[in-house]
Structure 1
Amino acid sequence: MELRHLKYFLAVAESRNFTQAAARCYVAQSALSQQIARLEKDVGVPLFSRTSRSVRLTAAGELLEPMARRLLADVDNAQAALDALAGLRRGRLRLGLVQAMTVSFDMVEVLAEYRARHPGIDLHVTNAPSSAMAAAVISGALDIAVVGLGSRHVPPGLDHRALGSDPLVLLVPRDHLLADRTTISLADLPESHPLIQFSQGSGLRHQVEAAFTRAGATAGRHFEVGQIHDMVRLASRGVGVTVVPRSSVVGPGSLLGLEAADDLPHGARMLRLADREAVHHTCVVYDGTRLAPAAAAFLDVLGSYEQTSIGLSDR
């Protein structure tokens, strides 16, 4: 079994298509098919079930997939450790970043500082739902991730460090029947009013659904949007109502760059939630048992910004 065989195997497992997998691996399809056949011969069982219309993993393929990911991740980490002996002049950091961050510093500045300190490190940034990025850290597909999860919801096997928290707020259009309130319970929302929700599997989605449960309310009709920026704008235009972290609406680093709630577009209103547990958390997750040097260096840079923000808040 060779490492390139495992890379080809994962490419087919992810794309479920030999032609697409060959393109991703920059090899001819015939060559990739031959290498997959050789891998299946080495392991003694078929790894894919092939028909004229589909390619699926067999039971053996499903067993091999997570092992192959971790093995290739270990190889990458070993190379990164060797690079670290040369002062991190080479390497790669695969970083996951959640859209809504409840941190008191600018993550862009963190990335810029990291790049300045370690210009030889290739930085690959991914945006995805928090649960997916946490799972990617476990599998080795990501080295580290900043996710919208509280300490209680971090998957077992991952180390984590809390970065911040922020209250959730309700955004309603200016002509909404509850727009004149300053504080609201989610139980007061009519079930017939559309709710604009963030993507399934995200930390924010989990926190919003938990808030409705605590209020004894049903989220009602809703639709999903993949960008928090669009959720805010759609609610402002009267398409529906939405629940988002306050820091994503107003203040430093807000997605719309607003200084105060009165600046919301189209006269939309931002209402506080009576539920004090309705809070959006942000933390950084990683596997401390297999932390690559490039990822450890990122934690160091992140830590320096955390300390600076703590120092400023204490003044």
Structure 2
Amino acid sequence: MELRHLRYFLAVAEEANFTRAAARLGIGQPPLSQQIQALERELGTPLFRRTHAGAELTEAGEAFLVEVRRVLADVERAADTARRIARGEAGRLRLGFTASAAFNPRVPRLIRDFRRQWPQVQLVLEETNTAGLLEALRNGRLDAAFIRYTPSALPAGLDLMRFPDEPMLIAVPAAHPLAQRERAPLRALAGEPFILFPRSFGSSLYDEILSVCRESGFSLQITQEAPQMSSIVNLVAAELGVSVVPASTAQMQLPGVRYLPIEGRVPLARLALATHPATRANTPVVRHLWELAHATPQVP
């Protein structure tokens, strides 16, 4: 039994006449009658009673009609779903991000705009560190990810759309002497207890901060580690130390924390949207995200 047989049956059932059904289908009446007879033989029961006026459904034909309409509707829905997925209007997008990247206004705005343009796409989000995101991109577990990167060590085998570099700020407790200043050089943090995430959680930011501090003539005294920027800021508010954070983190206006612009050499937080070239080539929803990110204005 083929779909065309079901469509032939439906046309005859709705027209109640073989001649009109044949004209509707664009085939001859004799071949249509032969196809219906073959269908009846396959089912082992008559579907129509031939009359002078045309054709009437038997009881079995009436029951078969209900199911045929359901099957053909399911087939049409399946075909429509396939077409929408092929156009990137449906399907699933698996998107990763680092905890610090989520503070960058480009990230939530891009996710928001994507959902508005393609609401039928299921968005699956995953938060982890850059190393985990890169591994997930390479093994196909993620389609795209917002990652931190180092210009001198770009991840091999992936395409990066780099966003504007983000300056970093000093974060100090509100009661700290530096909190009274409008800005301060990094070397003002020499000897201060410093709060930072483990290097394994974000090597690019970690290395950038330590490198610029060394250029400023001192080494950090990391006395406390925290896994996320939000945790670091809360620990600064608890007066456990000072830190350096991406400027976008300053939207966390916690009581007891003051953010200061940095004088002199400023460490930079670098953010990019990363995809595997093959994934973008073969997955329309990923191409939509890439093109949308490319069209997003540079100014937050």
* TM-score, normalized by the shorter chain, greater than 0.5: yes
User: How many Å apart are 1:95 and its aligned residue?
Assistant: 0.7
CA-CA distance at 1:104 after TM superposition: 7.4
Residues 52-91 of structure 1: matches in 2 within 5 Å?
86-91=86-91
Task: Specify the alignment match of 1:154 in structure 2.
Answer: 154
Q: Which residue does 1:289 correspond to in 2?
A: 278
Q: Which residue of 2 aligns with 1:20?
A: none
* Residue of structure 2 equivalent to 1:298: 289
**1:256-281 residue CA offsets vs partner (Å, 9 max, x unmatched):** 2x4xxxxx512x33223234341111
Alignment of 1:52-201 (within 5 A): 86-101=86-101, 105-191=105-191, 193-201=192-200
Query: Is the contact between residue 172 and residue 242 of structure 1 (CA under 8 Å) also seen in structure 2?
Result: yes
Structure 1 residues 275 and 144, CA gap change in structure 2 (3 angstroms): farther
Deviations along 1:97-138, one digit per CA (max 9) or x if unpaired, are 223349974533422332233333222111111232123222
Shift of 1:150: 4.4
| 1:131 partner SS | helix
Distance 1:218 1:211 in 2: 10
* Per-residue CA distance 1:157-181 (angstroms, 9 max, x = gap): 2111111222111111133243333
Structure 1 letter corresponding to 2:111:
L
Structure 1 position 270 matched with structure 2 position 259: yes
Distance in 2, matches of 1:124 and 1:195, equals 35
Match of 1:279 in 2: 268
Give how far 1:88 is off. Answer: 2.8
Go from structure 1 to structure 2 and tell me whether the alpha carbon gap of 1:158 and 1:186 turns closer, same or farther (over 3 Å shift).
Answer: same
Residue 244 of structure 1: how far off its partner (Å): 0.2
8 A Cα contact 1:166 1:281, kept in partner: yes
Q: Does the 8 A contact of 2:100 with 2:228 survive in 1?
A: no
Q: For 1:73-95, what per-residue CA distance to the aligned partner results, in whole angstroms no more than 9, with x for missing partners?
A: xxxxxxxxx76664235422111
Residue 190 and residue 91 in structure 1: after superposition, are their counterparts in 2 closer, same or farther (change >3 A)? same
Q: Residues 150 and 282 of structure 1 are in contact (CA less than 8 Å); yes or no, is this contact kept in structure 2?
A: no
Q: CA RMSD in A?
A: 2.8
The whole-number CA distance in structure 1 between the counterparts of 2:118 and 2:278 is: 23
Q: Aligned partners of 1:273 and 1:218: how far apart in 2?
A: 17
Check whether the contact 1:93–1:121 (CA below 8 A) recurs between aligned residues. Answer: yes
| Partner in structure 1 of residue 3 of structure 2 | none
Deviation per CA, 1:134-154: give whole Å up to 9, x if none: 232223222111112244342
SS at match of 1:276: coil
What letter matches 2:227 in structure 1?
G
Checking the alignment, whether the CA contact within 8 Å between 1:150 and 1:162 is kept in structure 2 is no
Identity %: 23
Aligned to 1:218: 219
Classify the secondary structure of the residue corresponding to 2:180: coil
The amino acid of 2:136's aligned partner reads A
Equivalent residues of 2:89, 2:285 under 8 A apart: no
**2:103 and 2:225 mapped to 1: Cα distance?**
25
Rounded to whole Å, the distance in 2 between the matches of 1:162 and 1:102 is: 15
Which residue identity lines up with residue 271 of structure 2 in the other structure? T
**Structure 1: distance between partners of 2:83 and 2:128:** 29
- Tell me: CA distance 1:123–1:240, structure 2 relative to 1, closer, same or farther (3 Å): same
Figure out how many residues of one structure are paired with residues of the other and give that number.
215
Q: Which amino acid aligns with 2:122?
A: D
Name the CA distance, whole Å, in 2 between partners of 1:156 and 1:283.
14
Structure 2 CA distance, aligned partners of 1:123 and 1:169?
A: 32
Q: Which residue of 2 aligns with 1:36?
A: none
Superposition deviation, residue 301 in structure 1: 2.4
**Matching residue's letter, 2:88:** L
Q: What letter is aligned with 1:230? A: S
CA positional deviation for 1:223: 2.1
- Seen in structure 2, the aligned counterparts of structure 1 residues 162 and 103 have a Cα distance that, compared at 3 Å, is farther
Amino acid at match of 1:285: A
With over 3 angstroms needed to count, the CA separation of the structure-2 counterparts of 1:220 and 1:103, relative to structure 1, is closer
User: TM-score of the superposition, structure 2-length normalised?
Assistant: 0.62
Q: CA deviation at 1:243?
A: 0.7
Structure 1's unaligned 5+ residue stretches are 1-81, 259-263
